Structure 1
């Protein structure tokens, strides 16, 4: 089982926001954030699918990247694309850069959102180790059609950051999420970047 455990000290939470000592500098952003749209669930697949799979992940978590590299695609091809499963991504940032990346990604929705998440995981080792991770994030965002100004606006919007962090708190209370990745399939919780076959067994059992 591979997972990354939550460290509350990393985010330096203060009043629901990131501690100012850890906040990187951003350019002035004149773009208005659509908080309602940004806070909506990010769902892939038929909304009326008989089964829902929720992933709680941190975009800086290497085990989450492993899941997306090895198990995510066969799950989508086998169950989401066939209408059997609805897949929902939920943010569970473990550090300030995961939080900013999650906020930037919420500037888009639908399949482009999931394509961006996939790109962020594939390039995780590059942007997380960059001299300026925020600039590296914005370069990836531009490939998804997110301008630098929009990225800055979403990554610095206090209400959006609060929304993401409140979602993390809700995950802890509802499903006892304390590490990433954590998955909820129906009423079953799976912790760690398990192989496709593990998820397949659970999904097939729920669909039977």
Structure 2
């Protein structure tokens, strides 16, 4: 993934300051929400390839553990799985993708310590669903992560961007999706829309009602936190896996 260059405006800085001022509350709520994860018995969502992966008995249901998962990056044998929930119209998801994710990938994924599994949700209406369907369509050609990076690199500094079909096709082209005709055909595949709906419902059953939202080794983190917070979060989780 490449890191997009951005020039924050004053309005964005005020928004970011507000977000960080609520950090303590966000973490508390995240932990409270995660308490539901181990008690929910919902059926698991499928990934962008339409697969429901077989999960190892020692892993929670929200970890797919599929070596061919197009919605995951990193070594299948990594000691830690970072599970992420995201909505492609979420401005804070875009901030995380641009400002923090590249560092997480460089420091933790490329070194083989962490695998990231992404879950898409549709929290902001039909355009969120359309964008998630498009990402899964790109995933069928091995470009799910690249599509997300492209979407978030082009996101506005605040608000929920519209996602018309023409824009989604443009994102696919920029992301390197090879067969655009197949991509357009897949945009109309009702199976993908059902997968997005299933993923959204499952997230809500787990207690995930805001994004971005992350879980690693049974601990939750909410919001577009800076890399320093992610280092602490992931280092603590990695230390637990070594006990």
Q: In the alignment, does 2:112 pair up with 1:83? A: yes
Deviations 1:63-99 (A, max 9, x none): 1000011110110000000000001111012221221
Give TM-score, length-normalised by structure 2.
Answer: 0.64
Q: Structure 1 stretches of 5 or more lacking a match? A: 4-34
Instruction: Kindly indicate which of the two structures has a greater share of residues assigned to strand.
Output: 1
Structure 1 segments of 4 or more deviating over 6 A?
Answer: none
Match for 2:152 among 97, 110, 121?
121
Evaluate the alpha carbon distance shift between residue 111 and residue 155 of structure 1 in structure 2; reply closer, same or farther with a 3 A threshold: closer
Query: Please, what is the CA RMSD of the aligned residues?
Result: 2.5
Q: Counterpart in 1 of 2:129?
A: 99
Distance in structure 2 (CA, Å) of the matches to 1:37 and 1:93: 15
Structure of greater relative contact order (alpha carbons < 8 Å, 6+ residues apart): 1
Task: For 1:27-66, list aligned pairs within 5 A.
Answer: 38-40=49-51, 41=69, 42-66=71-95
Distance in structure 2 (CA, Å) of the matches to 1:53 and 1:134: 31
Deviations 1:114-159 (A, max 9, x none): 1221011111239x756x7221111121232255533333222222
Evaluate the alpha carbon distance shift between residue 172 and residue 91 of structure 1 in structure 2; reply closer, same or farther with a 3 A threshold: same
Q: How many residues align?
A: 174
Deviations 1:139-186 (A, max 9, x none): 121232255533333222222211111111111212x10011111112
